Chains A and B, each alone.
Chain A
Amino acid sequence: MATEAEIYADLTTIFNDVFLRDDMVLTPALNAKDVQGWDSFKQIEIIMASEEKWKLRFTTRELDTLKCVGDLVATIAAKTA
């Protein structure tokens, strides 16, 4: 089971890879409007990379409710619990 802190750490790596940066700071409220280049393609990349990382599959409903990083972390934490 992954703790929230671990999830944030691994997600930061994913975000850095996806946005080709090394300075991403993830906060629960962070969302697509805050990050340059976070379009629907990048959104799918983040989702697919998370599925690969935590070996899980998000349901269609779960994906529809993701509005910010906090939602994503909570969903991952619930699914890996």
Chain B
Amino acid sequence: MTDLHWLPEIPDWRARLRGLAKKTDGIWDEAVALANGRVNFVLTNALDEQLRRLISTPPDGLAAKPVRLAILGSSTLTHLLPAIRVAGVRRGIWIDTYENDFGQYIQELSEPDSALHAFKPTMALLALDAHDLTAGVTAAMDNDTAAAALDEVCDRIRATWRLARETLRCPILQQAALPVHLPVLGNNEHRAAGSRATFVERLNTRLRGMAEEEGVDLLAIDDRAARDGLRVWHDPGLWHRAKQEVAHGAAPMYGDLVGRWIAAKLGRSFKCLVLDLDNTVWGGVIGDDGMEGIELGQGSPLGEAYAAFQNYTRELSRRGVILAVCSKNDEANAIEPFEKHPDMVLRRSDISSFVANWSDKAGNIRAIAQELNIGLDSLVFIDDNPFERNLVRQELPMVAVPEVSDDPTAYPIALSDAGYFEGLSITDEDRERTGQYQGNKARDALKASVTDLPAYLRGLEMQLVWKPFDRVGLQRIVQLINKSNQFNLTTRRYTDEDAIAVMADPDAFGLQLRLLDRFGDNGVIAIAVGRIQANKDLLIDTWLMSCRVLGRQVEPTTLNLIAQQARKLGARRLIGVYIPTKKNGMVREHYVKLGFSVVETDPSGGSRAVLDLADFQPAETFIHVTEG
């Protein structure tokens, strides 16, 4: 698979590409946005062609210096150039490319008045194909002859590097040989010294050593092809037809690998990984499920997968990537596993900035960048929740947000395949980095967020589907009632029979609320139970909600429904009760925020609040309500 699978699908991509031509300003920014959608090679070429028609020179004000990349090789590379340029756009880098005349790279390097020198490259990629590199190598060779042939090829490459360095005076990227040759011996191919497959493997090993000696960097397409499968990287038919060694389908990935190297050379690799916690770093919701309830570590495949993801992030941090946490949680709940859970791989000391509160994540990510004193464009944010991912993408387009499923086995692969943190070496400073950021930590109160939440919510096309309690929903209703701890006003637990009793009670209603949006179905996310009293007050026995949908106007919309049901039962007033627990501090002010008046408080912090239905006007929200 050579898909850029970590990039999100942009539904109106084609329309936006066409729209590019009608823009007078903001063309570059829009192109950057389109380059950050999931594009195949056709769309990559289309974006490149469209952009180059509109802008022929680097736009002003780019953060990174424009790059002039010479691509030198012995086969056809033209089809890879758009993907390289678009990989630059993806990172906000303008790249101009030059490809030598077919097979003429040595001549062009040697002649000072060649078109190559006129191009004045600032970086060079040496993309030698495996057929050229193995010319004359055959299985008839004995060990010594094959070794001599390998020496000769290595000497030739080393001489090319030196020539390039001398004449171009720029950084050099050497493409590893693509292992396109088929074995002739089999499992023990390595014993056939003159086999082209063996030759390429040995050459790639030698290249790595030589690159160290000569200060050249490597483009490891051999490793990438091993991960994606050689079949998607190389098509023998295409080689025979057009001398293209890298298949078109792999071009976007090839271009991205080059783009990463360029970004790393310019010091523009991402620096910090911001982690969501619930269902990202562990399974479940810590505030509801508690330390014993979250899935993590030995005992379940899912728990082990979360631990493996943590392990990968810790490895990243040990080679210099800064880790941060951005979670919707009470801070004490969020920190507890880091300090006390035996299966946590990450510890509090691994996290350089730890933000857990109920504010929107875009605002919190700004605060993290500020606290760490690094640019927002050096942050990667990983979250299982599509709502949060898209909010951050919309509000902070410079933050990288990998598209992931809810399967934790995919998280390390997404981070690795995306190459966000491409590095060229590890320094002692890298190994100590987390310590440094810990050292100068001083948490400011979070700045007031400037996130444009209403605009985002409007675009979500949210739909709340409500239903009375029913047998079909019983299992989920009871589960939600018994495991919600945080957004739960009374924390009353129900058995199946209790819930069935509500269905049968003419003086009561039980509501199950399902939320859908353009990212999909969030399932049943809220429950409300009301009961009419003899005095025509409607007592809200139970009101709870999954914290996953907090801040999406579900609360006022639910109140509209409760009021509607209460009126049907002839109620004049709503009575809301708050019973405090260790975990439900977040809803202490719930009823006041919704316009209730507190009429009673008790020493434990509990309260009783009233809303007169005669004056009640249903709140206007961005949620479309339907009965299911």
**In the complex the two chains form, is B249's CB within 8 Å of A48's CB?**
yes
The CA-CA distance from A17 to B17 in the complex, in Å, is: 10
Chain A residues with CB under 8 Å of B78's CB are 41
Q: Which parts of A1-31 form the interface with B (CB within 8 Å)?
A: 14, 16-18, 20, 22
The CA-CA distance from A11 to B14 in the complex, in Å, is: 15
Residue A74 is within 8 A (CB to CB) of chain B in the complex: no
DSSP class of B's interface residues: helix, strand, loop or mixed? helix
The CA-CA distance from A22 to B21 in the complex, in Å, is: 13
**In the complex the two chains form, is B237's CB within 8 Å of A60's CB?**
yes
**In the complex the two chains form, is B40's CB within 8 Å of A60's CB?**
no
Residue A49 is within 8 A (CB to CB) of chain B in the complex: yes
**In the complex the two chains form, is B46's CB within 8 Å of A44's CB?**
no
Chain A residues with CB under 8 Å of B582's CB are none
Chain B residues with CB under 8 Å of A41's CB are 78-79
Q: Which parts of B566-610 form the interface with A (CB within 8 Å)?
A: none
**In the complex the two chains form, is B43's CB within 8 Å of A48's CB?**
no
Residue A56 is within 8 A (CB to CB) of chain B in the complex: no
The CA-CA distance from A22 to B45 in the complex, in Å, is: 15
* A40-81 vs B, Cβ < 8 Å mask (1 yes, 0 no): 110011001100100000111001000000000000000000
**In the complex the two chains form, is A49's CB within 8 Å of B237's CB?**
no
The CA-CA distance from A18 to B241 in the complex, in Å, is: 19
Task: With both chains docked as a complex, state the minimum distance between the C-beta of B167 and any C-beta of chain A, in angstroms.
Answer: 30
Residue B248 is within 8 A (CB to CB) of chain A in the complex: yes
**In the complex the two chains form, is A63's CB within 8 Å of B242's CB?**
no
**In the complex the two chains form, is B248's CB within 8 Å of A18's CB?**
no
**In the complex the two chains form, is B79's CB within 8 Å of A49's CB?**
no
Chain B residues with CB under 8 Å of A16's CB are 14
Chain A residues with CB under 8 Å of B244's CB are 44
**In the complex the two chains form, is A44's CB within 8 Å of B40's CB?**
no
**In the complex the two chains form, is B41's CB within 8 Å of A40's CB?**
no
Knowing A44-B242, A52-B40, A60-B240 touch, does A20 contact B46 (C-beta < 8 A)?
Answer: yes
**In the complex the two chains form, is B249's CB within 8 Å of A44's CB?**
no
Residue B18 is within 8 A (CB to CB) of chain A in the complex: yes
Task: With both chains docked as a complex, state the minimum distance between the C-beta of B423 and any C-beta of chain A, in angstroms.
Answer: 32
Q: Which residue of A lies closest to B53 (CB)?
A: A20
The CA-CA distance from A63 to B237 in the complex, in Å, is: 10
Chain B residues with CB under 8 Å of A63's CB are 237, 241
Q: Which residue of B lies closest to A42 (CB)?
A: B45
**In the complex the two chains form, is B45's CB within 8 Å of A52's CB?**
no
Candidates A17, A40, A58, A59; contact of B42 at CB < 8 Å: A17
Q: Which residue of B lies closest to A60 (CB)?
A: B237
Chain A residues with CB under 8 Å of B50's CB are 20
Candidates A17, A20, A44; contact of B79 at CB < 8 Å: A44
Q: Which parts of B29-63 form the interface with A (CB within 8 Å)?
A: 40-43, 45-46, 49-50
Residue B69 is within 8 A (CB to CB) of chain A in the complex: no
Task: With both chains docked as a complex, state the minimum distance between the C-beta of B45 and any C-beta of chain A, in angstroms.
Answer: 7
Q: Which parts of B76-92 form the interface with A (CB within 8 Å)?
A: 78-79
Residue B247 is within 8 A (CB to CB) of chain A in the complex: yes
**In the complex the two chains form, is B43's CB within 8 Å of A45's CB?**
no
Residue B159 is within 8 A (CB to CB) of chain A in the complex: no
Residues of B within 8 A of A (CB): 14, 18, 40-43, 45-46, 49-50, 78-79, 237-238, 240-242, 244, 247-249
Closest 10 CB pairs of A and B: A48-B248, A17-B42, A49-B42, A60-B237, A17-B46, A20-B46, A20-B49, A18-B42, A20-B50, A45-B42
Residues of A within 8 A of B (CB): 14, 16-18, 20, 22, 40-41, 44-45, 48-49, 52, 58-60, 63
12 new A-B pairs (CB below 8 Å) besides A17-B42, A41-B78, A44-B244? A18-B46, A20-B46, A20-B50, A44-B241, A44-B248, A45-B79, A48-B41, A49-B40, A52-B40, A52-B249, A59-B237, A60-B240
Q: What would 17 A/B residue contacts be, using CB atoms closer than 8 Å?
A: A14-B42, A18-B46, A20-B46, A41-B78, A41-B79, A44-B79, A44-B238, A44-B242, A44-B248, A45-B41, A45-B42, A48-B41, A48-B247, A48-B249, A49-B40, A52-B40, A60-B240
